[in-house]
């Protein structure tokens, strides 16, 4: 699947994703920018281009990972707190607790990577501990 706004919107469709309403609260320009930025972040980290594949059912999907990372970036951005239904509060000069909105997993701190994006890349949280 091509990594673009149309496919991201299809991925975050109301009948396809639990966070569809949150995704749609952000403006088109912010969503497009988040996709481009998420792709760039993942390509730099992986040191390879992101694959655009049409193979539905694959366990590993670069395109879906980019879309999840884009949403993650938006939720932690200073552009608003979509968790309380307001995606543009800061642009209107209202106080926003972006860190609290971004802490969707209860870790108490903002992670760099979306856990859902990592799952689509096949990184399921396995760690090697060496003494």
Q: Which residue has the tokens 């395109």?
A: 63
The angle that helices 28-46 and 62-75 make with each other, rounded to 10 degrees, is: 120
**pLDDT digits 0-9 by tens, 96-127:** 444 544 454 444 445 788 889 999 998 875 54
The conformation of residue 87, written as its DSSP 8-state character, comes to S
- Cα–Cα distance for residue pair 40/3, rounded to 1 Å: 12
Secondary-structure breakdown of the chain: helix, strand, coil percentages, each rounded to the nearest 5: 50, 0, 50
**Predicted pLDDT at 110:** 55
Alpha helix segments (H runs only) across the chain: 5-11, 20-25, 28-46, 62-75, 98-102, 115-120
pLDDT surpasses 80 at 7: yes
Report the candidate in 11, 30, 18, 44 with the shortest Cα–Cα distance to residue 76: 30
pTM of the model: 0.73
Report the candidate in 70, 49, 57 with the shortest Cα–Cα distance to residue 7: 70
């Amino acid at each position: 699947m091509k990594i673009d706004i149309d496919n991201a919107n299809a991925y975050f469709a109301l009948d396809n994703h639990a966070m569809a309403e949150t995704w749609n609260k952000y403006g088109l320009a912010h969503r497009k920018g988040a996709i481009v930025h998420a792709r760039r972040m993942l390509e730099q980290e992986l040191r390879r281009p992101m694959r655009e594949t049409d193979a539905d059912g694959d366990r590993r999907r670069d395109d879906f990972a980019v879309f999840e990372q884009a949403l993650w970036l938006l939720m932690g951005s200073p552009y608003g707190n979509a968790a309380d239904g307001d995606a543009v509060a800061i642009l209107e000069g209202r106080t926003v607790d972006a860190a609290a909105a971004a802490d969707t997993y209860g870790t108490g701190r903002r992670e760099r990577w979306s856990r859902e994006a990592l799952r689509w890349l096949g990184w399921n949280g396995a760690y090697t501990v060496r003494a």
